[in-house]
A and B are shown apart, each in its own frame.
Chain A
Amino acid sequence: MEQPVQTETWKARSLEELVRILHQIFAEDKVSVEEVQALMESYESNPEEWLQYAKFDQYRYTRNLVDNGNGKFNLMILCWGEGHGSSIHDHTDSHCFMKILQGNLKETLFEWPEKKGNGEMTKKSERVLRENQCAYINDSIGLHRVENISHTEPAVSLHLYSPPFDTCNTFDQRTGHKHKVTMTFYSQFGERTVC
């Protein structure tokens, strides 16, 4: 495990190593967003290492817990079939890192709607994230929608949320109205969870 003294530039050579380093980083009081993002990006996706967590569902995207970070973070793998997408959502005051392990995902950023939102939500930007790229978002940056726009390829992404959260708000693009939802795991630690 590489451990330079001052400028923490990590290189995770495997998924296991990534998790190990994350535990180390999050054991500290202060965690740097740049450090985590660089670490996530440094891991070169190797399907052999994460295939056991990548459980797809025919109808919608799935969330598969990989590690619960001693309560400091949740690391999970999301599997997106062709055409699968999320609603516009926030991140309940947490940090969210999203790294592409396979395929591509389109991320569309939105402004928070006005208090009494009754108009179309404002799109800030959109981009297509490629394999091994890592995006970051939190509530002060805005809201986003993530979707697999491919009609031929499934996509897999690695997400880190800190602190962990299991509820968030979804937003109606046309009106800005929000609705609280509870998120569930399709599988945990490689085992399918029956809800």
Chain B
Amino acid sequence: LPAGLSQWFPALEVLDVSGTGLAEMGTELLSLPCLHTLLAKNNRLGGPGSLPKGLGQAPLARSLRVLNLSGNRFSEVPPALLRLRGLRSLSLGGNRLHSIPPDIQELHSLEFLYLGGNFITAIPPELAKLPSLRYLVLCDNKIQSIPPQLAQLHSLRSLSLHNNLLTYLPREILNLVHLEELSLRGNPLVVRFVRDLTYNPPSLQELAGRTVKTRNVPYAPSDLPESLVRYLSLASNCPNPKCGGVYFDSCVRQIKFVDFCGKYRLPLMHYLCSPECSSPFSSASQSSTSQSESDSEDEASVAAHRMQKVLLG
């Protein structure tokens, strides 16, 4: 960046230095108090001097709303970037990122996050702590699973996951009530119903715990060792609404399909408390028609109505 930039253009609001071969952006940025949009795509940024030191204390940290660093050489999200607390839109598409830092949650004003076309293998659950996130692009990466916490992104309208390594999705994804667009093509999503037959029978402790919980057997902390009191507090509800049971450690992990508006079948991880909860499947039918799966789809179909448009393969 030319020296004296902030002296000549103190009121600069939008700066586009895309496609200029920039390898670093220096201290000239720090004295631009009105800058709200910085476009620096298709450059050679990514090394140590890419962003100036002291970014967190500069006026830019509060004024910058839009930052586009796509098409550069970042192999990690520069920590300085996470100090830009006013940032609403961030693009790091087409870089060399292998991960997303958990501290991404510090960009609490973020509404638009584009991370497509990198080498990301996992999503930190902290990403879900961005309350205003509406558009999340993670396509063309190497992501193998989505953390269920992502369902906490209540503002999410569009989620782009195409061309990754996903074999299933967490059922919590149905909780994203405002989601209108979801792209999933180019993932090795399990098509056929897969049943995990390696079911470990529950322990006596587990069976006793289930009985205490489902029969509402009263107990006080003085009745039990502290470890068991704690154990009982960790009961999870069986997601099958017709069951109403609880489970602790034993569950059958099944890949199930949810039919979104009759158009698409998504495999979801359902944690059920026993194989009996999957009774529609125990009767031998090999095909995965909607009739045989209707029971467990009840809860899903309610949520499915909310997800109207699914952009898929």
Q: Interface of A with B (CB < 8 Å)?
A: 58-60, 82-83, 85-88, 120, 145, 149-152, 172-175, 177, 179
Contacts and interface: CB of A to CB of B under 8 A. Distances in A.
A175 B312 CA distance: 11
A84 B24 CA distance: 30
Given A58-B135, A173-B312, A151 B185 contact: no
B137 A83 contact: yes
Contact of B71 (A60, A87, A152, A174): A152
Contacts of B311: 60, 85-87
Majority DSSP secondary structure for residues of B touching A:
loop
A151 B312 contact: no
Interface in B128-183: 135, 137, 139-140, 157-158, 160, 162, 180-181, 183
B264 interface: yes
Contacts of B137: 82-83
Range of interface residues on B (Cβ < 8 Å): 20 to 34
Contacts of B135: 58-59
Contacts of B312: 87, 172-173
B87 to A, nearest CB: 16
Contacts of B264: 172, 177
Interface string B7-20: 00000000000000
Contacts of B162: 85
A172 B313 contact: yes
A179 B263 contact: yes
Contact of A85 (B158, B183, B189, B262): B183
A87 B94 CA distance: 23
B248 interface: no
A120 to B, nearest CB: 8
B184 to A, nearest CB: 9
A175 B139 CA distance: 21
Contacts of B263: 172, 177, 179
B93 A83 contact: yes
B140 A151 contact: yes
A177 B311 CA distance: 14
A152 B41 contact: yes
A172 B310 CA distance: 10
A58 B180 CA distance: 13
8 contacts: A59-B135, A83-B140, A152-B42, A152-B71, A152-B93, A173-B185, A174-B313, A179-B263
Closest 4 interchain pairs by CB?
A173-B313, A151-B93, A151-B94, A151-B117
A60 B191 CA distance: 26
A145 B312 CA distance: 10
